[in-house]
Amino acid sequence: MTTPAKTSGLRQMVGHASIYAAGNIMRQLVGFLMLPIYTRYLTPADYGVIGLMTFAISLIEPLFGARLGMAIPKYYADAEAQCKKALVVSTALLTTGSVSVLTTLVLIYCRQPAAESLFGSAEYATIVGLFAVLITTQALEYDTLIFIRLQQRPWLFVGVNLVKLIVQLSLNIWLVVFKQLGVYGIAISAMSSSVFFAVILICYTFYHVGFHFDKIVAQKMIIFCWPLWLAGLVGLYIGSSNRYFLKIFSSLGDIGLFELAVKFSAIISMLIWEPFQQYWQIERFRNHKEENAKEIFQNVFYAVSNILAIVSLGVIIFSGPVIDIMASADFYKASYAVPFLTAGTFFSCLSTYFNFSFFVTENTKWMSRINYLVAIVITFFYFIFIPLWGFVGAALAVAIAQAVQFVVVYRLSSRFYDMEISLKSLGHILLIAGVACGCTSALLLAEFDFWGDVFTRTVVYALAVIFIIYPIWLNPSTRAVIHDIALILRRKRSY
C-alpha cells in the first residue's frame, strides 16, 4: 500500500509536471492561436517564408549557438555546494550568450547572401536579419527557464510564458492586422518579444546566481552536449528539411500550406504527448524497478496509444471544416496533408515510448543509428513524392518514414529491454482509423452543405471512438491504469 509520504511526493511530482506542461503549451500556442489571422492576412507564400526561416534558424542554433540547456540540469545536480550550482548556471549562460551573439552578428552582416541562398532572392534579407536575433535570445530564454525549473518555481514558469503569450499575440495582431506589415510584422513581433523577455530573465537569473565563469565547467558542458547537438541535427533534418525540399522542388506557397497542416498535426503532441511525457519520463525509471514492470509498461502503452489514436483521428476528420472556417480559400488545400502528418506524429510518439529500452540499458547510440536510417528513408521519398505531389507528397514521405522508424525501434528495443508489448491492439486501432477515414471520404462525395458535412464527420468519428475504446473496458488492468490517472488528477485539483 502506498505510504502518505510517497503519495504526497507523487502528487507533487504530477502537479509540477502538469504546471510545467501548461507552461510549455503556452510557449507553443502563439502560432496556433494566430492561424485565423495568418491565414487571412498572409498568403501561403508569406507563411512559407516564416516556415523556411524558422527551419533555417533551428538548423543554425544547435552547432553555432552553443546551447547548453541539456547539460545544465546534470551539472547543477552533480554540484553539491550552492555556490557551485550557481557557477554552473552562470557559466552556461555566459558561454551560450557569447557564442550566440557572435553567430547573430555574422548572420546579420551576411543577411543578403543568406537570403539569396535560402530564398533565391535578397528580397527577404531584412527578415533574415530580424530572425538572426532569435539565435541569441531564444537560447538565453530556454536556459533561464531551465533555471526557474531547477528552483522548483512552476507558477513563475507558467506566469512568464503566459505573459509572453499575451505580449506576442498583441504585437502580432497590432503589426499584422492594424499596421498590415505582413510577414515583416511577424518577424518584428517575434524578435521584440523574445528580446524583451530574454533581458528580463537574464537579469533575474544573474541576480540569483551571480556573474561568474569557469572554463573547466564550460568545457565539460560543451563535451557533454556536442554529441547531442549532432543527434539533434539529424532529428531536425527528419522533421524540418521538408521545407527546404519544397523550396527546391515546389514553391513557397506549398511551404505555407505544409506549415498550416503541421500546426494541426502538432495538436496531439502539444495537448497529449508532451504533458504525458512530463510525467512519464521520470516515472518510467521508477516503474522499471517494480516486480510487475512489464505489465505496467504494457498497460500504459495500451492506454496512451488509444488516447493518441482518438485525438489523432479527431484531428484528421475535423481539420477540413476547421480550416474552411478560419482560413481564406488559398489555404483550403492544406487539409489534404493533415492525415499523413498526423499519422507521422502518432508513430513518432510511439517510437519515443519504446526508446526507453535504449535509455535504461545505456544503448542510446542505437537511437542515433536509427535516426540516420530514417533520414536516408525520408530523403529518398522526398525526391520521389515532392516533385509529384508537392506539399502532400512531403507529408506522405513523413508518414512513411515515421512508420518505418516505429517498426525499427519496436524490433530493436526488444533486444535490450523487452516490454513484451503486443501490437495487436495497435493494428486494431489502425484498421478502425483507416475505415473511418475511408468512410468519411466516401460519404463526402455526396457534397453536403457545411453543417451536413460536420454532422457526417461527427457520426463517423463517434462510431470509430466507440470501436476503439471498447477493448479497453474488456481489460481490467488497462481500466485500472486509467482509473489511477483520473484519481491522481482529482487529488491534484483538490490541493
Between CA 185 and CA 181 the distance in angstroms is 5
Domain for residue 422, yes or no? yes
The pLDDT, as a whole number, for residue 493 is 43
Residue that has been written with the C-alpha cell 532529428 in this structure: 235
Between CA 178 and CA 442 the distance in angstroms is 43
Could you give phi then psi for residue 380, rounded to 5 degrees?
Answer: -55, -45
Domain for residue 140, yes or no? yes
Domain for residue 4, yes or no? no
Domain for residue 211, yes or no? yes
Binning the chain into helix, strand and coil, the percentages to the nearest 5 are 90, 0, 10
Domain for residue 3, yes or no? no
Residues 343, 431, single domain; the answer is yes
Domain count, the chain: 2
Which of 232, 267, 285 is the last residue before a domain boundary?
232
Residue that has been written with the C-alpha cell 551539472 in this structure: 75
The pLDDT, as a whole number, for residue 5 is 46
Between CA 220 and CA 236 the distance in angstroms is 24
Residues 80, 208, single domain; the answer is yes
The pLDDT, as a whole number, for residue 15 is 56
Residues 351, 486, single domain; the answer is yes
Between CA 258 and CA 293 the distance in angstroms is 41
The pLDDT, as a whole number, for residue 486 is 54
Residues 395, 422, single domain; the answer is yes
- Range(s) of the domain holding residue 402: 241-495
Which of 199, 232, 265 is the last residue before a domain boundary?
232
Residues 320, 205, single domain; the answer is no
For residue 115, give Cα distances in angstroms to 56, 133, 390, 453: 10, 15, 23, 43
Domain for residue 6, yes or no? no
Residues 222, 265, single domain; the answer is no
Between CA 233 and CA 67 the distance in angstroms is 13
List Cβ neighbours of 218 (8 Å cut-off, separation of 6 or more). 91, 92, 94, 95
Helices assigned H by DSSP within 327-449? 338-354, 356-360, 365-416, 424-443
Which of 189, 206, 232 is the last residue before a domain boundary?
232
Q: How many residues does the chain have?
A: 495
Residue that has been written with the C-alpha cell 533551428 in this structure: 58
Residue that has been written with the C-alpha cell 471512438 in this structure: 465
Residues 291, 187, single domain; the answer is no
The pLDDT, as a whole number, for residue 17 is 57
Domain for residue 11, yes or no? no
Residues 302, 215, single domain; the answer is no
The pLDDT, as a whole number, for residue 203 is 96
Walk along the chain (495 residues) in steps of 10 and give the mean pLDDT of each run. 46 57 66 83 91 86 76 83 92 93 94 90 92 94 89 85 89 93 94 95 95 91 80 81 92 94 91 78 77 87 90 95 90 95 96 88 82 94 96 97 97 93 92 93 79 92 92 68 55 44
* Neighbour tally for 210: CB within 10 Å: 12
Domain for residue 133, yes or no? yes
* Neighbour tally for 415: CB within 10 Å: 11
Distance of CA 234 to the CA centre of its chain: 15
Residues 198, 286, single domain; the answer is no
Cβ pair 21, 278 in contact under 8 A: yes
Residues 306, 450, single domain; the answer is yes
Residues 52, 181, single domain; the answer is yes
Between CA 135 and CA 140 the distance in angstroms is 9
Residues 353, 392, single domain; the answer is yes
